[in-house]
Amino acid sequence: MSKKEVSVEVKNIKFEDSLKRLETIVEKLENGDVPLEESLALYEEGIGLYRTCSGKLEEAKKKVELLTKKGASGKWTAETFSTGEANEPTETETDEIPF
């Protein structure tokens, strides 16, 4: 399988499946009982999976930001994405969603 085929294949799988595969790769590499050539191939696949997962997370973050855009005047304005941690500001408006 060529790099291009692996790249296309990695981009077409679901986020959860990508993450599970990435965890499996990390576990194998951490054990250290994989031959060098296989380690390199696993590392390369892992980098592709990492990039795919990161891209999908960034895309999801942007979608959430779009869905939560609303200012005090009722006009749509950009808001920062919040992970819900205690130190981060959160939006307190309770207006209905306009759709």
Distance CA 42, CA 34 (A): 9
Structure tokens at 86: 């205690």
Stronger pLDDT, 27 or 74, i.e. the higher one: 27
Q: Which of 54, 27, 61 shows the shortest CA–CA distance to 42?
A: 27
> 47 in a domain, yes or no?
yes
CATH of the domain at 23: 1.10.287
Residues 6+ apart with CB under 8 A from 51: none
List, for residues 35-84, the tens digit of each pLDDT value.
999 999 999 999 999 999 999 999 998 888 777 666 555 566 666 666 56
* Domain region containing 43: 3-67
**CA dihedral for 65, 68, 69, 72, sign (positive or negative):** negative
Q: What is the tally of structural domains in the chain?
A: 1
pTM: 0.58
> 93 in a domain, yes or no?
no
